[in-house]
Structure 1
Amino acid sequence: MAIAYRQRVDDDTEFALWKIEEEADELYNQLQLDADEQAYFEQLSKGKRHLHWLGTRVLLRKMLNTDAFIDCKVDAHGKPYLVNLPFQISMSHSFDYAAVMISKKSPVGIDIELIKEKVERIANKFMRPEEMDFIAADNNRIPQLYVCWCAKEAVYKCYGQKEVSFVNNILLEPFKFAEQGTLQVSLDKEPVKNNYKVEYMQYEDYMIGYVKG
């Protein structure tokens, strides 16, 4: 499978989606792994997690348009970074899709989620009561909740630090749902207070949120 969707955000930033239709061996054969990556890969259980890890790295390789070894590490906070290439990156995956966002100048965050009814049961784990007040009471309620989740997750990844509460530290401004749009998000965790404009879009049965710091 080639890249399923690709969008340039600005002159320095873009993201893309890869639909994972390959077997693990086919994806694996497109990569070059060092000893650490090989050891980590071998620890992964077979199945979707296995394919997601491969899919994000194949997609990263396609976006950077290189067959050379890409030294992609993960820092102490779990944020991926490139050792020898001048790009900031963010990765996500959900069911059949992998997503990667890259930027030459700024930190980035991306999240992709399959839209499912279960989000309403866990909404109080990531939404404040005042945020729930602006969620639609119609057929858009479930997709709008996924916009909220993806936006908070994208900001969390862009910020790149642990110990951040989606409920207490990442706050959403009211917005009306559309299949594509933007919303204002603030991250408030002493001593940091950052404001973000998160963009989102629905792609097939998935919601995607992405942000540039």
Structure 2
Amino acid sequence: MPLYKTITPNSQTTVKIWKISESYKDLFESVDLKPKSLERVLSMKSEMHQRGFLSVRKLLAEFGYSDKDLFYDENGKPHLKDGKQISITHSFNFSGVIVSDSVIGIDIEKQRDKISIISHKFIDYEFNYLDENDADYIKKLTAIWCVKESLYKLYATPGLSFKKHCLVIPFNIDDNETVAWIDYKTKKHRYNIQFLEFEGFACAYAIA
């Protein structure tokens, strides 16, 4: 399937989402990989991960980039050779890439009831406004996870904790936006967050 969705939060930032319906073979034959990426994708044990990896390269092409334009630093954060900021995500049959002049982070997650079992591992402050009886409880938990994951990718600092250092201000699912903070050591940073839902998935992206 071609590009699923394009979002332009501002004049310097673009989000592109891909719905992965192609086979591994079709994706593999349609992208040009540098040797390191080829070695990486061939070593993956899950075809779902392989397809996710390759679909990200399809998204790069939508931005006018190739696999050769992408590299990772020592913390695993992706970068583009032209200096633009980039963040990458994939979950099941969706992948997403955000490119901007600003520092950014993005995450996509499938909305599943099992997230409530692990919520205590990534939520602290947010329990003050969450209600387990809320019809949107699972959606809100998933959105919070996406927000914190996007902040983690944006900040790219070893030792940052979802639970201790990332705070998501109260929001409604219909709002499609909120504010989040990173409170880490002696520094506090405020971020504008936008989120959306599609086909049982949540996506959030943070822009510095």
Q: Which residue of 1 aligns with 2:2?
A: 2
CA-CA distance at 1:203 after TM superposition: 1.4
AA aligned to 2:24 is A
Q: 1:69 to 1:156 in 2, by over 3 A?
A: closer
Report whether the alignment pairs 1:112 with 2:108: yes
Q: Which residue of 1 aligns with 2:96?
A: 99
Contact 1:61 1:70 in 2 (8 A): no
AA aligned to 2:40 is Y
AA aligned to 1:2 is P
Higher share in helix: 2
Report whether the alignment pairs 1:212 with 2:207: yes
The CA distance in 2 between the partners of 1:69 and 1:37, in whole Å, is 8
The CA distance in 1 between the partners of 2:28 and 2:103, in whole Å, is 28
Aligned pairs for 1:28-177 (under 5 A) are 28-62=28-62, 64-65=63-64, 70-83=68-81, 85-103=82-100, 105-128=101-124, 130-136=125-131, 137-177=133-173
AA aligned to 1:22 is E
The CA distance in 2 between the partners of 1:192 and 1:76, in whole Å, is 22
CA-CA distance at 1:50 after TM superposition: 0.9
CA-CA distance at 1:86 after TM superposition: 3.5
Moved >3 Å (runs of 4+): none
CA deviations on 1:112-134 (whole Å, 9 max, x unpaired) are 11101011111000000x31121
Contact 1:92 1:98 in 2 (8 A): yes
The CA distance in 1 between the partners of 2:98 and 2:78, in whole Å, is 11
Q: Which residue of 2 aligns with 1:202?
A: 197
CA-CA distance at 1:193 after TM superposition: 1.8
The CA distance in 1 between the partners of 2:186 and 2:128, in whole Å, is 28
CA-CA distance at 1:172 after TM superposition: 1.7
Report whether the alignment pairs 1:17 with 2:12: no
- Aligned residue pairs total 207
CA-CA distance at 1:69 after TM superposition: 5.5
CA-CA distance at 1:47 after TM superposition: 1.3
AA aligned to 1:198 is I
Contact 2:115 2:142 in 1 (8 A): yes
CA deviations on 1:95-124 (whole Å, 9 max, x unpaired) are 110111111x11111111110101111100
CA-CA distance at 1:177 after TM superposition: 2.9
TM-score under structure 2 normalisation? 0.93
AA aligned to 1:53 is F
2:176 to 153, 174, 181: 181
CA-CA distance at 1:204 after TM superposition: 1.9
AA aligned to 2:167 is L
Contact 2:104 2:205 in 1 (8 A): yes
Contact 1:134 1:175 in 2 (8 A): no
CA deviations on 1:25-62 (whole Å, 9 max, x unpaired) are 21122222222222222211141111111111111211
Q: What 5-or-longer segments of structure 1 have no aligned partner?
A: none
Q: What root-mean-square deviation, in Å, do the aligned CA atoms of Structure 1 and Structure 2 show?
A: 1.5
The CA distance in 1 between the partners of 2:84 and 2:110, in whole Å, is 27
